[in-house]
Structure 1
Amino acid sequence: MSDYTDHNKLILAALEEALVAGDEVDRDDSADKTFGLPEGLRGNLDAMNDKADSSATAAFTNLVTGIAIKIAYPNIDVRFHQIQIQDPQHFNHRGVSENVVYPFLRDQDFDGAKSGWQTRTLERPKPYFLNYDENIRAVKDEFLACYHALEEGGADAKQMLNYLFLGQVVRRNAKKIDLIEPRIDDISTIIGHFEAHFFADYKSRGQSRLPVLALHSLYKLIMPELKRFEGLDLANLELHSAADSQTGATGDIEIKKNDGSVFEAIEVKHGIPVSVDLVVDAAKKLVTRRVDRFYVLTTHKNCGQTDEVAAKIKEVKERTGCQVIANGVIPTMRYYLRLVQNPADIFPHYTSLLKVEPAISHEHRVKWNDIVLPD
């Protein structure tokens, strides 16, 4: 008999993996959004998604539960959802739905019911065969067809869940999120909000983009007030997925002269300590470009210059004429915020980028509001 001691943990891992897949495909315009599934099956899954917020919340949650269990345990026939009809027995799917699947759907702001078995038509001790004779509301044919495809049609359980979650991501992202813009001038509090946002625990990718958005917001705030930047322009951010070699960018953030040449560039690293290698990488970009100042900024706590880093920076200065400055994102933000009249004005810039940045997911936006206005 199989050991199902950790079944909740394995099923949660399947849900989390599908979330990442769905979120990434949604943000990649060139990605295959069919996940290789046949048109008929996609139509049935679309129907489940379309009614997941109204007439078929329980059936949707039920199906997500069944597919996630199938991913975790491919040898289980998930149509047999109760112990009393299982041979051999594994576990009741209702408990998984209520203790794992629903909390996951709720936390991601996805559709779903508190249980996939909260209606009598779904909790009968009968397998979900095509001839299941209970009157499942609104999506009976699609619901049973999905289970049939999963067990007898050769459908890939992972791709089915990926596709379902892609639909949920699209629906969720269509909902407007009003991001909070604090009116706080205390710099320690401002920095605390940004640190909390940078280092929160996320399931979605895109976290490393947050300090880039914060620094871009900082420059948008300080440039009109500091004489050093008079007559210069802050370039729009390039796509996070585009490499500098493709875009021709010198850094993640660029301040440009009227002729389009780069005056100052900022390379931003998340969780990576300042090292000689980072300075060397910066130097390679400066060989063919005339830049007055190049910042290498990191969110890592080891952001100070060692003797080796300082020596390499001096060497780069002598060879290229460019001043390379290696420092931390947080110390840099704290320093510049002290120089502006209204530090709180950084927040409207930051939230405006959070709303439109393709690399940022719904999860990152929700976390910002949670940090600024906790329960």
Structure 2
Amino acid sequence: MLYNGNISPKSLKTAFINIIDFVQTHPEQSENVLRLLLKFIQSAKDANLVEVIKLTNPEKLDIKSLVNALEEHFNYNYKTKGGSKLPVIAFYAIYQILVREISRYQSCTLGELGSHTASDRTSKTAGDIDIFDENNHLVEAVEIKHGQEITLQILYRAKEKILKYNPRRYYILSHSS
């Protein structure tokens, strides 16, 4: 069976094709296959739970300690894909607070946090974080480039997005060692 979809790694693509083939040749088993897949998803979710420990004394947390903790978190090698998503999630959490607390964002909402795996050309968003006004017009876009210097290519892509989506403000945040 041929499938041109871009699924990686190859073993995942093979498993996907085999499941589709099995369901097509044994349609009476499709409900059982679905139940089994949902059980595997639940097991994977349960295995990846992270306990969040509440700070015992949050008043002693200063900005420098927070920045150091975030930097260590962003730069840690978790030996898995998705590390570039960590700064986006952190800034998204910050923007969730800013949108509630800062008058400049009054009546604004955050766009949904994207998958961060789609290319800039197909994501249909101006940045990693988009903020919209009450009329759903783009107010602000934030592009986060972890571990990358801001290059001319990044600036060209930013210019294309600014012209296409017309935000009032567009930020590119980068940290590169």
Considering the TM-score relative to the shorter chain, is it more than 0.5? yes
Specify the code of the residue in structure 1 equivalent to 2:72: A
Partner of 2:53: 180
Aligned residue for 2:93, secondary structure, equals helix
Match of 2:111 among 228, 231, 235: 235
| Aligned positions of 1:183-332 closer than 5 A | 184=58, 185-301=61-177
Alignment gaps of 5+ in structure 2: 1-7, 23-39
**1:172 and 1:259 mapped to 2: Cα distance?**
39
| Cα distance, 1:234 vs structure 2 | 1.2
Structure number with the higher strand fraction is 2
Instruction: Tell me the matched-pair count.
Output: 149
Specify the code of the residue in structure 1 equivalent to 2:143: E
| Cα distance, 1:177 vs structure 2 | 3.0
Deviation per residue, 1:322-351 (Å, 9 max, x gap):
xxxxxxxxxxxxxxxxxxxxxxxxxxxxxx
Instruction: Please identify the structure whose Cα radius of gyration is greater.
Output: 1
**1:251 and 1:36 mapped to 2: Cα distance?**
36
Aligned residue for 1:296, secondary structure, equals strand
**2:121 and 2:54 mapped to 1: Cα distance?**
35
**2:174 and 2:153 mapped to 1: Cα distance?**
13
Alignment gaps of 5+ in structure 1: 1-19, 26-30, 40-167, 302-375
Higher RCO structure, 1 or 2 (CA under 8 Å, sep 6+) = 1
Partner of 1:337: none
**1:297 and 1:170 mapped to 2: Cα distance?**
35
**2:166 and 2:46 mapped to 1: Cα distance?**
43
**1:21 and 1:211 mapped to 2: Cα distance?**
25
| Cα distance, 1:21 vs structure 2 | 4.9
TM-score (ref. length: structure 1): 0.35
| Cα distance, 1:34 vs structure 2 | 5.5
| Cα distance, 1:300 vs structure 2 | 1.2
Partner of 1:86: none
Distance 1:34 1:189, change over 3 A: same
Specify the code of the residue in structure 2 equivalent to 1:240: H
